[in-house]
Amino acid sequence: MTRSNSRCGRWPALLVALAVVAAGLLAGAAPAGAANLLTNPGFETGSTTGWSCPGGSVVRSPTHSGGAAMAGTTTASDIARCAQTVPVVPDTTYTVSAWVRGDPVYLGVAGGPSTWTSAASYTRLSLTFTSAANQSRAEVYLHGWYGAGTYFADDVELDGPGGGAPEGPRTPGTPSTDAVTDTSITLSWPGAGDSVTGYRVYEGDTVRATVTGTSATVTGLAPCSTHTYSVTAYNGAGESGRSGEVSGTTTGCTSADLPKHALIGYLHTSFANGSGYVRMADVPDSWDVINLAFGEPTSVTSGDIRFALCPVAECPNVETEAEFTSAVRAKQAQGKKVLLSIGGQNGQVQLTTAAARDRFVSSVSAIIDRYGLDGLDIDFEGHSLYLDRGDTDFRKPTTPVIVNLISALRSLKSRYGSDFVLTMAPETFFVQVGHQFYGGAGGGDNRTGSYLPVIHAMRDALTVLHVQDYNSGPVMGLDKQYHTMGGADFHIAMTDMVKAGFSVAGTGHTFPGLRPEQIAFGVPAAVSAGNGHTPPAQVQQALNCLARGQDCGGYDLRGGVSPDIRGLMTWSINWDRYYGWEFSDSHRPFLDALP
């Protein structure tokens, strides 16, 4: 959220990154030939299926050819080795090659020759080897070097005659969720052939079920909890690679006491911003959630959040604290929710230490208790959140500012219980842009997608996510097209991403979509409130598409129709008042008429 119409320059930087990626895509030649003995040589399955790559993941750019490549992220103690073993014929000469990019990258055969290069763009490495007289298998490997960063590999080839049968069965197909209850999720998947003894269902690195058929029910789950599964096949010779992932959420979710379709707005409580001060008592009843803007830290890394009403010198009509508190109580008596919003454009919050985390919890609790608020809104912008290089799994983040924020939010949720309302208002840069660029994977701005681990960790406690569909550059949607703010198309595509879920660039992981009642989208209340103002008719077209499946302008909803979509957020109530309540007068009746 902005106190003015200016924005920081992250989008020009992102366009530079896009240009670099585009340049990388121009390099290279044709994919591997038909003689190739390797499974998944170009990683086009979207995973490292067939390979053993503990430090590797699949990326969509840069690639040598096709739509995928492997990225190996080295550390000070790991060279990110990626290997595959295949059957070969004894006493036979083979050619091994790969298109690689990095500094350095090694290609080799276990027990045999190797080669390496240092290349800023895709370069072909090649070698030959002759199998031993009694050799029936060969292991091809790639790796980087300790602490040298990320390398990329694509179109790996092992050319020559094939040997005997593989050690294990082929990889089963990606599972689907067939049924869910409060405590269980039932999965099924395409089989892996007649040679299979059974299948193992994994959640992360933990086996949740072992079955002989192609379906399984995982039980003992918590109500309203999200789980992500993959499947392997096994027989007496070994275990296959893992299938693609599927996510499911158990039923039994309890929703906050909000209208089915809510109107959410920010109230400039601590400043005026040119739109004038609006007293809490004067906020119209059309608003269901009122976010107090803003709680801000005493310093960027202190974690010590402070909140105060606008000074009289800036806001001559500001109410007394007693009048403000009384008005909050009156709103709550009408069923409204009043939240403390932390951050905004000027409120940078970096919880870099455990001490800052603990201070955040205690200071936020003190404000909530002082005014009797209903919960918290996280509006971290700028450089509050980022990802350390190599932090590529949003499900298990390691960056301190991310880990400490998650811990703090869990503490607050535990302190206040099930009635605690938690909302978040990230910009598209921190959520949907993660589909193309993820900060921890390197190669660009380390803030891209950095809200994803926070949203994912808190998804079972999250009341509403309302991404700011404004002050944004063009963003690629699930249709592989770029969408631009200011019209129905942008809101449809961006919201559909949050509902359907999406692959996270450079990581090999997929962010699971949220439940529709957790999803709203944010728009400026008026032309002066922010870039990307959308006329009411266009906002309502987007809602008609998302909630009814109507008037989608040719866009295909990957996440399906969502009659339970929560509603609309706006910056801000003050700007809406300044422009004669156009926003709330237009959208309150429309929301009430949705199914």
Exposed, middle or buried: residue 287 (CB in 10 Å: 0-12, 13-18, 19+)? buried
The answer on 182 and 154 residing in a single domain is: no
Domain end call among 193, 225, 250:
250
Measure the CA–CA gap between 149 and 74, rounded to whole angstroms: 5
| Residue 441 belongs to domain spanning | 262-593
Tell me the torsion sign for CA atoms 406, 519, 383, 63: positive
Q: Which of 223, 250, 277 is the last residue of a domain?
A: 250
What is residue 193's predicted lDDT score, i.e. its pLDDT?
Answer: 83
Residues 98, 229 within the same domain: no
Under DSSP, the state recorded for 366 is: H
Active site residue 381: yes
Instruction: Report, as an integer, the average pLDDT of 565-590.
Output: 97
Residue pLDDT, tens place only, 209-234:
999 999 999 999 999 899 999 999 99
In this prediction, residue 19 carries a pLDDT of 38
pLDDT above 90 for 18? no
Q: What is the mean pLDDT of residues 473-480?
A: 95
Are residues 445 and 347 located together in one domain of the fold? yes
What is the total count of domains within the chain? 3
Dihedral over Cα of 288, 382, 7, 504: its sign = negative
Residue 2 lies in a domain: no
* pLDDT at res. 28: 37
Closest Cα partner for 547 from 534, 522, 566?
566
Q: Are residues 502 and 440 in the same domain?
A: yes
Q: Are 503 and 43 in contact (CB under 8 A)?
A: no
* CATH code of residue 137: 2.60.120.260
235 and 274 belong to one structural domain: no
Question: Considering 225, 250, 275, which residue would you say is the last residue of a domain?
Answer: 250
Question: Is 47 domain-assigned?
Answer: no
pLDDT of residue 514: 96
- Residues with Cβ within 8 Å of 554's Cβ and at least 6 positions away in sequence, in order, are none
Judged against a pLDDT cut of 70, whether residue 185 lies above it is answered with: yes
Q: Would 23 be classed as within a structural domain?
A: no
Which pLDDT tens digit goes with each residue over 403-423? 999 999 999 999 999 899 999
What are 87-112's pLDDT values in tens digits? Answer: 888 999 999 999 999 999 999 999 89
Q: Are residues 243 and 323 in the same domain?
A: no
Mean per-residue pLDDT, 179-195? 92
Burial 506-525 (b: 16+ CB within 10 A, else e): bbbbbbbbbbbbbbbbbbbb
**14 three-state secondary structure:** helix
To the nearest 10°, report the CA torsion of 300, 269, 453, 174.
-160
- Short-list 108, 92, 98, 111, CA closest to 160: 92
Answer whether residue 3 shows pLDDT above 80: no
For residue 184, is pLDDT > 50? yes
Check if the beta carbon of residue 217 is closer than 8 Å to that of residue 184: yes
In a domain, residue 29? The reply is no
Under a CB-based contact definition with an 8 Å cutoff, are residues 179 and 215 in contact?
no
Residue 142 lies in a domain: yes
CATH classification at residue 577? 3.20.20.80
- Please state whether beta strands 501-504 and 509-512 pair in parallel, antiparallel, or not at all (unpaired): antiparallel
Mean model confidence pLDDT for the chain: 90
CB contact at 8 A, 381 and 297: no
Please tell me which residue in 157, 296, 319, 381 is annotated as part of the active site.
Answer: 381
448 and 427 assigned to the same domain: yes
Residues 336 and 214 in one domain: no
Does residue 7 register a pLDDT over 80?
A: no
Please tell me which of 50-64, 232-246, 308-322 the model is most confident about, judged by mean pLDDT: 308-322
Residues in contact with 306: Cβ distance below 8 Å, sequence separation at least 6, in sequence order: 295, 296, 297, 298, 363, 367
Longest Cα–Cα distance of the chain, Å, equals 92
In a domain, 38, yes or no: no
Read off the DSSP letter of residue 193: -
Distance CA 157, CA 86 (A): 12
Q: What is the CATH number of the domain that holds 193?
A: 2.60.40.10
Distance, in Å, from the CA atom of 184 to the CA atom of 131, rounded to the nearest integer, reads 50
User: How much is the pTM?
Assistant: 0.72
Indicate if 93 and 195 belong to the same structural domain.
no
Give residue 214's region: left, alpha or beta (phi > 0; psi -120 to 50): alpha
pLDDT at 48: 84
Backbone angles phi, psi at 87, to 5 degrees: -75, 140
Residues 493-510 have a mean pLDDT of: 93
Per-residue pLDDT tens digits for 244-266: 889 999 998 876 789 999 999 99
pLDDT at 32: 34
510 - beta bridge partners?
503
DSSP string, 305-360: EE--PPPTTT-TTPPPHHHHHHHHHHHHHTT-EEEEEEEETT------SHHHHHHH
Q: DSSP state, 222?
A: P
At residue 456 the predicted structure's pLDDT band, cuts being 50, 70 and 90, is very high
pLDDT value at residue 498? 98
| Residue whose C-alpha is closest to residue 120's, from 164, 146, 93, 150 | 150
404: three-class secondary structure by DSSP: helix
pLDDT level of residue 10 (50, 70, 90 thresholds): very low
Checking if the pLDDT of 326 tops 90, the result is yes
In a domain, residue 204? The reply is yes
Amino acid identity of 359?
R
> What does the block give as tokens for 594?
């949705």
In this structure, what DSSP letter does residue 432 have?
G
% of the chain residues with pLDDT over 90? 75
- Position 237 scores a pLDDT of 76
For CA atoms 60, 64, 67, 69, give the dihedral sign.
negative
With pLDDT > 70 as the criterion, what percentage of the chain qualifies? 93
The answer for residues whose C-beta is within 8 angstroms of residue 421's C-beta and 6 or more apart is 256, 289, 337, 339, 374, 375, 376, 463
Residue that is written with structure tokens 């190669």 in the block: 443
3-class SS at 573? helix
362 lies in the same domain as 491:
yes
Give the strand pairing for 464-468 and 519-524. Answer: parallel
391 compared with 236, residue with greater pLDDT: 391
Q: What pLDDT does residue 292 have?
A: 98
On whether residue 195 sits in a domain, the answer given is yes
If one compares 10 and 476, the residue with the highest pLDDT of the two is 476
Residue from 544, 521, 317 nearest 428 by CA: 521
Same domain, 298 and 399: yes
Q: How far apart are the first and last CA of the chain?
A: 30
Residue 4 scores a pLDDT above 60: no
* 217 and 245 assigned to the same domain: yes
